[in-house]
Amino acid sequence: MKVLILPGDGIGPEIVAQAKKVLEVLKKDGLDLELQEAPLGGAAYDQYGSPYPEFTQNLARAADAILLGAVGGPQYDKLDRPLRPERGLLAIRKDLNLFANLRPAILYPELANASTLKPEVVSGLDILIVRELTGDIYFGQPRGIRTNEAGEREGFNTMLYAESEIRRIGHVAFQAAQKRGKKLCSVDKANVLETTEFWKEIMTDLAKEYPDVELSHMLVDNAAMQLVKAPKQFDVVVTGNIFGDILSDEASMLTGSIGMLPSASLDVNNKGLYEPSHGSAPDIAGKDVANPLATILSVAMMLRYTFNNEAAAQRVENAVKKVLADGLRTADIYEEGTTKVSCSAMGAAVVAAM
């Protein structure tokens, strides 16, 4: 099994180095892994002049799974749009057809105090956001900045979903709900936007194929409110690319630390790109203080979804639970009475717990 590692920018290389230690333990214990590495984002621009260069593309296409750190940094903000690190991320998602983005928001009992919400509102929280990742206003054409007939400049994007795109993400979400609490909430803005009125219609139609799953619909503004008001009402949430981008950041913060949350982006065959839900955090890059647990938990998701190896996935997740139970905390989740450790020390502790 070929795993391509894309350290990326900012804290990416530091956190990925810890996840790599975990992969190496699994390899030593008999998992048939071949690890390769390539640049993506700003690092790729620096080396090859493009955020998703051919070198990376060839390895990514050949890989069975990909582990990504994070991309982006202030030094790239002035580049032409197509050269920016974020475009590298969007390009690899689109190139590999990674349309299904799974973003769990789980509250670890040890971290109940890390949330800004009252413990009783969030304790036991376990939500899965299924975000469509290769369509919507992110990719719709036409798009751009132009001067209109009146001589005024304007920016424009196109929100668009084809029926097949809605159906395939719908199937992923219904099937995920079947394996969990059997509740699926589809989020739209059907009172204003035709694209999402259509989305709602297709989700309703799909529900006939999944009689064991209870489908509900919610407007995105209400969903944003309900997520902080009563987040435990949700089991699986399915939504389009832009709403999913926003709601998944919101959901992640219910747990107190975005540094804890992994994500998977899958194609139809469960080939996947796995990455932490957080960004490249340039302000703390190179200081060995970042939280590597989201990246390590992304390895667990890789084992589960691409390699179908539930035992190995749980081995990694249990090691993470163990270090949390032992009181080890990186700075982002530190509280009095626990032990503050560096990024590399956290990685080493997880490896020891394995």
Applying CB under 6 A, the site for ligand IPM has a residue count of 4
189 is catalytic: yes
Distance CA 192, CA 170 (A): 21
Closest approach, Cβ 85 to ligand IPM, in A, equals 8
Instruction: Answer yes or no whether residue 245 interacts with Mg ion by CB under 5 A.
Output: yes
Query: Which of the stretches 111-119, 174-182, 239-247, 334-342 binds Mg ion when contact is defined by CB under 5 A?
Result: 239-247
CB atoms under 10 Å from CB of 245, counted, come to 17
Q: Is 285 marked within a binding site?
A: yes
95 is catalytic: no
CB 230 within 8 A of CB 172: no
Looking at the DSSP bridge assignments, the partners of residue 29 are none
Instruction: Answer yes or no whether residue 37 interacts with ligand IPM by CB under 6 A.
Output: no
CB atoms under 10 Å from CB of 80, counted, come to 7
Instruction: Answer yes or no whether residue 89 interacts with ligand IPM by CB under 6 A.
Output: yes
Burial code (b: 16+ CB inside 10 Å, e: under 16) for 213-242 equals bebebbbbeebbebbeeebeebbbbbbbbb
Distance CA 90, CA 52 (A): 9
46 is catalytic: no
Please state the length of the chain.
354
Which residue in 24, 37, 201, 245 binds ligand IPM (CB under 6 A)? 245
Which residue in 86, 95, 110, 250 binds ligand IPM (CB under 6 A)? 86
Q: Which of residues 52-71 bind Mg ion (CB under 5 A)?
A: none
245 is catalytic: yes
Distance CA 258, CA 261 (A): 6
Nearest to 104 by CA among 274, 268, 223: 274
- Residue among 196 and 280 whose Cβ is closer to ligand IPM: 280
- Tell me which residue has its CB nearest to ligand IPM: 86
Closest approach, Cβ 122 to Mg ion, in A, equals 21
Q: Is 300 marked within a binding site?
A: no
267 is catalytic: no
> Where would I find the H helices in the chain?
12-28, 42-48, 54-62, 85-95, 119-122, 163-178, 194-206, 220-229, 241-254, 293-305, 310-325, 343-353
Contact partner at residue 86 from Mg ion, ligand IPM, none, CB < 5 to 8 Å by partner kind: ligand IPM
Q: Catalytic pick from 245, 326, 334, 340?
A: 245
- Residue among 107 and 242 whose Cβ is closer to Mg ion: 242
User: Which residues define the annotated binding site?
Assistant: 73-86, 93, 103, 131, 221, 245, 249, 279-291
Positions in the binding site for Mg ion (CB under 5 A): 245
Positions in the binding site for ligand IPM (CB under 6 A): 86, 89-90, 245
Catalytic positions are 138, 189, 221, 245, 249
